[in-house]
Amino acid sequence: MQRLSAHIGVKHVYLSQAGWRYFADDTRDWCDTGSTRFDERVTCHFSQCTLTEHCPEDALPAFAGSKIICVGRNYRKHAEELGNDVPSRPLWFSKPPSAIVRGGQQVILPQGYGRIDYEGELALVIGRRAKNVTVDTACDYIGGVTACFDMTARDLQKSDGQWTRAKGFDTFLPLACLVSPFSPEWSRGMLEVWKNNELVQKDRFSSMVFGFAELVADLSACMTLEPGDLVLTGTPDGVGPVAAGDLLKITISGPAIISLAVTCA
Q: What is the pLDDT of residues 38-74, one digit of tens each?
A: 454 444 444 444 434 445 554 556 576 889 999 999 9
- On whether the 68-264 domain is CATH 3.90.850.10, my answer is yes
pLDDT of residue 59: 54
Query: If residue 71 lies in a helix (H) or strand (E), which one and from where to where?
Result: strand 68-72
Where along the chain do its domains lie?
3-60, 68-264
pLDDT tops 80 at residue 94: yes
pLDDT tops 70 at residue 18: no
- What predicted TM-score, i.e. pTM, was given to this entire model? 0.82
The pLDDT of 83-105, averaged and rounded, is 92
